[in-house]
A and B are shown apart, each in its own frame.
Chain A
Amino acid sequence: MTAPLLDIRELSVTASTASGPYDAVREVSLEIPRAGAVAMVGESGSGKSLTALAVAGLLGEKLTPTGSILFDGEELVGMPAARRREIAGRRIGFVFQEPMSSLHPILTVGQQIDEGLRAHYDMTTRQRADRVRELLATVGLSNTRDIVGDRIGQLSGGMRQRVMIAMAISCEPELIIADEPTTALDVTLQRQVIDLLASLRERLGLSLMLITHDLGVVAETCEQAVVMYGGQVVERGDTRTLLHEPAHDYTKALVLSIPTLGDTRRRLPTVASVAPWLSDTRQIPLADRPLTEMSQIAPDHWVRSTTAKDAA
């Protein structure tokens, strides 16, 4: 088996807050194989996005990553900024959640896509302009009117997210990180954007890290999934197993909350804001508790035990 494209080992992200340091992400380990797709699932604040930002090198000044992120064998944690910039955009592309605010309000669509090309390639203005049109065609924006000179405010939500994707793939990266790329869109557009990402993945041979709340999307697009809760990975494995035989209480609760078409008898259960296994009587904040062991229960299925060894 070849080495994975992305190999995250015991990655922690420490936030320095007024009340002292705090681990927002704790010892996350996961792998993304070449041309593979891995979903990151979990509620807001579970650390999915911070993990993704750490991989892309976009953590803010007050967030410090520790541990190891190997990208194609190269260590990303602690990498000098200049080297990091060579990888950003060129080998790792990022699709953000909110295209409206994540795209520049004044620069035109063409100028924005051009920025990545300008940063990484030695191309003439003419070549870059051709490439911009080619990219717009790739993401399905060539049938409509010519939008190269348009500004973000003139585009619809779906078009904006397509522009965002065009920017992310502009330098043909090996890995695309999509951080809830459909959350800001309405349902029909969500479908289109996910289909676009899936088809691009196939056509360009991309690896995909997809952060999402939508388990339906996970089932269709990703072979593997990682469930996060409270800054830690609670379960990971291949998507089918995870959705059909969830082992962790939190994953079970998540899977139960998927609505089934035609099933009108039951109310959808709510995922408890604090999962049962966490509501112990000691009232110790999650981040302060010792991490419990992660155990392998099948060839490709890992789960974190719900009780600490000393508390058992």
Chain B
Amino acid sequence: MLRYLGMRLLALLPTVAVPLILVFLLLRLAPGDPAALLLGDSATPEQVEALRETLGLNAALPVQFGRFLVDVLTLNLGESIFLGKPVVEVIPQYALVTLEISFFALVVALVLGIGLGALGAFRDGRPAGRIATALSIVGISIPQFVTALILIVVFASGLHWFNVGGFVPLSQGYFPHLRSIALPALALGIAESAIVARITRGSILDVIREPFVTTARSLGVKPSRIASVQIIRVAALPIITVSGLLVASLLSGSAVVETIFGIPGMGRLLLDAVSRRDYQLVQGVVLFTGVFVILVNLVVDLYYAVVDPRVQLGRKSS
């Protein structure tokens, strides 16, 4: 078990390295010069050149990458060129907001998705099941920003239950804070719930046909108990896998939702950083997100072993 954990954490290094290299190269290949952007239109070429030198942007790419790697390994992610603050200090405050929204969105996605999926499977072919399945197909087809706009029109500008946008930090009271992130979390969660619903339905429909379900019926076990004890135990595995992947999808989806609702989260931070060519900040956010997603999936893999004792971690299946 510990050995397995060690191996997995070691494997984290190359996994994180790939997106980092890609981001490093893409940023530098993209047109636009942070020095020029920083100094504005009135700057002379000499001034820009001087700033490039100061920022280390004139060194050869491999040299820049080498410096960058050393920095990453020492957890010195450099300074945000625009915010003028160390990246390690900037990220946490934005990340916290995004993680909070993502967490609530995950809850919404799982509750709604598993509910709809289970309804679709257990009532397969009947009206309730068909409606549930249809809803999840519609859900997959609607992009997040449309869901977000519909929610705003109905619940914010229509019913006035929530504010249209804006973010209230936790320091101004728990309830106002929750109210300000409710719609973004819902918008994100609803979009992702459709996928959970599809996986849940398919997974349950597969398991329902298993002979062991017939065995349970032959013993006179109630359908509700067969569903909750026998079927869910087996059908849960694909749902757990998807949840892990969902976290990645939620983090990237947050960029869209945060922009629409005007929430100062990591998604928006990343968008802003990219448009300003704030290299250090972009790299920092990618590194953070990458490590986070990989860690979540590691937790998911470990959780497998808890749900299905047939899974023996760290051993090749025979």
Interface residues of A, Cβ cutoff 8 Å to B: 56-58, 85-90, 92-94, 96, 98, 101-107, 115-116, 118-120, 151, 153, 164, 167-168, 170-171
Report yes or no: A85 in contact with B220, Cβ–Cβ below 8 A: yes
How far does the alpha carbon of A85 sit from the alpha carbon of B216 in the complex, in Å? 11
Beta-carbon nearest neighbor of A113 in chain B: B219
| A–B pairs, 13, beta carbons within 8 Å | A88-B219, A89-B220, A90-B220, A101-B212, A105-B212, A106-B308, A115-B225, A118-B221, A119-B221, A119-B222, A119-B225, A151-B309, A167-B219
Interface residues of B in 223-257 (CB under 8 A from A): 225, 229-230, 233-234
Interface residues of B in 155-170 (CB under 8 A from A): none
Report yes or no: A106 in contact with B220, Cβ–Cβ below 8 A: no
How far does the alpha carbon of A137 sit from the alpha carbon of B227 in the complex, in Å? 30
How far does the alpha carbon of A293 sit from the alpha carbon of B218 in the complex, in Å? 34
* B214 CB-CB contact with A under 8 Å: yes
Chain A residues closer than 8 Å to B218, beta-carbon distance = 56, 58, 88-89, 92-94, 96, 168
Report yes or no: B310 in contact with A151, Cβ–Cβ below 8 A: yes
Report yes or no: A103 in contact with B234, Cβ–Cβ below 8 A: no
How far does the alpha carbon of A128 sit from the alpha carbon of B249 in the complex, in Å? 46
Interface pairs A-B: 7 shortest CB-CB: A89-B219, A88-B220, A89-B220, A116-B219, A94-B218, A102-B211, A85-B220
Report yes or no: A96 in contact with B214, Cβ–Cβ below 8 A: yes
* B41 CB-CB contact with A under 8 Å: no
* B210 CB-CB contact with A under 8 Å: yes
Q: What is the CB-to-nearest-CB distance from B220 to chain A, in angstroms, rounded to a whole number?
A: 4
Report yes or no: A104 in contact with B309, Cβ–Cβ below 8 A: no
- The listed residue (B215, B220, B234) touching A102 by CB distance below 8 A is B215
Beta-carbon nearest neighbor of B216 in chain A: A115
Chain B residues closer than 8 Å to A168, beta-carbon distance = 218
How far does the alpha carbon of A215 sit from the alpha carbon of B24 in the complex, in Å? 75
Chain B residues closer than 8 Å to A90, beta-carbon distance = 220
* B179 CB-CB contact with A under 8 Å: no
Report yes or no: B310 in contact with A115, Cβ–Cβ below 8 A: no
- State the main secondary structure of chain A at its contact with B: mixed
- The listed residue (B211, B229, B234) touching A115 by CB distance below 8 A is B229
How far does the alpha carbon of A57 sit from the alpha carbon of B217 in the complex, in Å? 9
Report yes or no: B233 in contact with A107, Cβ–Cβ below 8 A: yes
- The listed residue (A57, A87, A101, A164) touching B210 by CB distance below 8 A is A101
Report yes or no: B310 in contact with A106, Cβ–Cβ below 8 A: yes
Beta-carbon nearest neighbor of B217 in chain A: A58
Beta-carbon nearest neighbor of B125 in chain A: A61
How far does the alpha carbon of A202 sit from the alpha carbon of B216 in the complex, in Å? 26
**Chain B 185-220: CB-based contact to A (< 8 A → 1; otherwise 0):** 000000000000000000000000011101111111
Report yes or no: A119 in contact with B220, Cβ–Cβ below 8 A: yes
List 17 additional contacts besides A58-B218, A107-B229; criterion CB under 8 Å.
A58-B214, A58-B217, A85-B220, A88-B218, A88-B219, A89-B220, A94-B215, A94-B218, A98-B211, A101-B211, A103-B212, A105-B212, A105-B234, A106-B308, A107-B233, A164-B215, A168-B218
Report yes or no: B219 in contact with A106, Cβ–Cβ below 8 A: no
Report yes or no: B233 in contact with A103, Cβ–Cβ below 8 A: no
How far does the alpha carbon of A167 sit from the alpha carbon of B212 in the complex, in Å? 12
- The listed residue (B211, B217, B308, B309) touching A88 by CB distance below 8 A is B217
Q: What is the CB-to-nearest-CB distance from B123 to chain A, in angstroms, rounded to a whole number?
A: 13
Interface residues of B in 257-311 (CB under 8 A from A): 308-310
Beta-carbon nearest neighbor of A84 in chain B: B220
How far does the alpha carbon of A103 sit from the alpha carbon of B221 in the complex, in Å? 14
Q: With a 10 A CB-CB cut-off, give which of B212, B229, B233, B309 has the most chain A CB atoms.
A: B212
Q: Known contacts A115-B229, A153-B310; is A104 also within 8 Å of B220 by CB?
A: no
Q: What is the CB-to-nearest-CB distance from A122 to chain B, in angstroms, rounded to a whole number?
A: 14
Interface residues of B in 58-113 (CB under 8 A from A): none
Chain B residues closer than 8 Å to A58, beta-carbon distance = 214, 217-218
How far does the alpha carbon of A226 sit from the alpha carbon of B64 in the complex, in Å? 85
Chain A residues closer than 8 Å to B229, beta-carbon distance = 107, 115
How far does the alpha carbon of A297 sit from the alpha carbon of B78 in the complex, in Å? 99
Q: Known contacts A106-B234, A151-B309, A153-B310; is A120 also within 8 Å of B211 by CB?
A: no
Chain B residues closer than 8 Å to A93, beta-carbon distance = 218
